[in-house]
Structure 1
């Protein structure tokens, strides 16, 4: 038998030649017209080669057998538990490994094995979920870049929770389609946290100031995101903000002062448990008693109520409803009216609220000035250059 001769030869052959011959043996097992006795002998020889001291031999075996559904299962399972370079070939390509095998490998093996599994074609949701839960950042990035992988939305959220602070993860997620608005907002929040930590670590700002700056920037981005979101997706965004502790009175007030009535009403409905239709009526009918009861039921701070009351009154008087773009930015004139109307209230009681409103007014003024200057410069440009900037 040729296999018997091969085994005798193996005893004295150098590693490189053993590896080459092992590859030839594996190909013969898969593709040659061997008798049943020769097939059994070849399988026994490959099983014996699993104990070869040279990784070159086991690597040659894995390279040939990995993609085949006719490879000996026992050999494939052994190679899948070999050193990372060898196991990765099998974990990435073998059709003999079932979902449970892959999930177990994700949990028990290292980064290289996890990355190999993440690159598999037609990766099922269960394995993707395992990678999202315990995989390294590199493995999660490979998973997100795998166009054939099935990834559930909760797995995406878990990756954002674990690695949303990493730029490559954010870039891949934001470049894709179908990402929920709640997940996009979570990425914004992760970026804000990362920037705050970076600034504090460099000692550019004190920790309190850095946290406040990035918090306000995150809230600004959140309102802008909500303004560009379909109405039916605003409630899931609000729910995410509440569950993550971001649905603060400051954010709700910012939405109102930006003219984003949809976000404001959805927030009140979610916080109070009152149906949205009734919330909308209470906001728009002008009766302060009904709105105050709704406000209290939503659990918003009593000290901030004057700003909400005056903002709604101003909105009703002047119609600050805005379009999609307008409802993403604070409205300076509206804020200034609210500040003027709140000035008669006990200053000591609402001092923090007045400070917040002044910051809002400053932000709105700067945004207004920036837009004015951009329009001024664009208007002075020749028509071809204006078209280039617009593009």
Structure 2
């Protein structure tokens, strides 16, 4: 009887009154102590309100049924397919929607509806994959900032493929508490490509110079990523990253040589395993005797430039000699570079000019880094109170954990380009 009276009243009430009545009826259905027959009648009345011409009425239903586990599934499904401002509460909160329904709603929804799905308290991996594939930019950003999203690695990489030129998208992904090394690499690559295109469009750099700058800054960041990966995921993590670098054509002789001259041997060893197809134990054994013919054969089998072999041998020798001094760093070692420069200069008859040019750029970068660190140290000492340091600690530079800071990365690229 109550429901019949409600339907009769709804025919003459205005939109605001009908919306208020719809909310009251929904609450009575969910929480009221009503008989089963009346409950069925109330469900029919709620279903009939889905045809109400006013969005206020349907929004009132959505607001009141969104979080309910006892709401009629058919009504919830209908509201989820309604216009976005009505569907949003259902899409973002309803526990009744299945993963398949959410994927379907993501496929047909606009950016507002997709963002509502992306911001659910828990977003299953399948829904994340669908949003990463078809979602709008706003939905992808919402997904990236949601800690409750079970975001697979391949989905993050797909988001970078689609929206990597968007700084807000990159920042949202970078803020996630854990990122696979391959995703961090893709973020660095996307940042470098975006900034390279920007400075070329502005006419600040030629295309060729911007490409070189982008590549060298990307390689510098990749050395840091490899170091972090080795510490966290061990050899297998480095192997996976090197496979990704090879597949994305970033595994170059310049990157491997930079890693060695930064005190990082893990990348070189993993690259030899990846490129040669030999077992890790075999590669490690040949690498220990890097002056022998076995290492030379391994080096050539990996497809690395034959003319660069003396530089790699000199780098390995320098790394062995300066390991205690430079261990744990991720930036180029000026001492190691000078050692390699000397070794290559002694045998250069013109065929190593390209390599010498690369080493000179490494030398300039390392010298600038050393000068900046020394200038910062002197400035800090000038501002700090006069405290005499114990002799045992004098001259020992402080170290911090290597981090990939994309904001600083962008700033450095822009500074060089200016």
TM-score normalised by length of structure 1? 0.90
Matching residue within 346, 363, 366 for 1:364: 366
Partners of 2:325 and 2:280 in 1: how far apart?
20
Q: Find out whether 1:298 has 2:302 as its counterpart.
A: yes
| Count of residues paired in the alignment | 388
Contact between 1:257 and 1:335, CA under 8 Å: does it hold in 2?
yes
Q: Which residue pairs with 2:246 in the alignment?
A: 242
Q: Does 1:256 align with 2:272?
A: no
Q: Secondary structure at the match of 2:57?
A: helix
Aligned position for 1:60: 60
- Map of 2:192 onto structure 1: 192
Unaligned runs of 5+ in 1: none
For residues 144-159 of structure 1, the aligned pairs below 5 Å read 144-159=144-159
User: Contact conserved, 1:123 with 1:149, CA < 8 A, in 2?
Assistant: yes
Deviations 1:202-257 (A, max 9, x none): 11111111111011011112112323441433222222211221111110111112
Two-structure CA RMSD over aligned residues (Å): 2.6
1:271 pairs with 2:297: no
SS at match of 1:50: helix
| CA distance in structure 1 between the partners assigned to 2:239 and 2:339 by the alignment | 29
After TM superposition, the structure 1 stretch with the greater mean CA deviation from structure 2, 158-167 or 358-367, is 158-167
More moved, 209-218 vs 267-276: 267-276
Larger RCO: Structure 1 or Structure 2 (Cα < 8 Å, ≥ 6 residues apart)?
Answer: 2
Does the Cα contact within 8 Å between 1:227 and 1:324 map onto a contact in 2?
no
Quote the Cα distance in structure 1 between the aligned partners of 2:161 and 2:91.
Answer: 27
Q: What is the Cα deviation at residue 25 of structure 1?
A: 1.7
Larger CA deviation: 274-283 vs 245-254: 274-283
1:345/1:36 Cα in 2 relative to 1: closer, same or farther (>3 Å)?
A: same
Alignment of 1:19-168 (within 5 A): 19-168=19-168
Cα deviations across residues 243-295 of structure 1 (Å, max 9, x unaligned)? 22111111011111222122222221221122233323322324342121011
Taking a change above 3 Å as real, the CA distance of residues 322 and 183 of structure 1, as seen in their structure-2 partners, is farther
- Residue 192 of structure 1: CA displacement? 1.1
Structure 1 residue 322: Cα displacement = 4.9
Aligned to 1:353: 355
Describe the shift of the 1:163–1:324 C-alpha distance in structure 2 as closer, same or farther (beyond 3 A): farther
2:414 aligned residue: none
Match of 1:342 among 340, 344, 358: 344
Select 1:375's aligned residue among 370, 374, 377. Answer: 377
Q: Is the 8 A contact 2:49 2:58 kept in 1?
A: yes
Unaligned segments of structure 2, at least 5 residues: 390-397, 401-418
Tell whether the 8 Å contact from 2:145 to 2:175 is kept in structure 1 after alignment: no
Whether contact under 8 Å (1:3, 1:41) holds in the other structure is yes
Tell me the TM-score normalized by structure 2: 0.85
Q: 1:183 aligns to what?
A: 183
- Measured in 2, the distance between the counterparts of 1:68 and 1:320 equals 62
User: 75-84 or 34-43, which moves further after superposition?
Assistant: 34-43
1:347 is displaced (CA, Å) by 4.7
Corresponding residue for 2:202? 202
Q: 1:285 aligned to 2:289?
A: yes
Match of 1:212 in 2: 212
CA contact (8 A) 1:260 1:321 kept: no
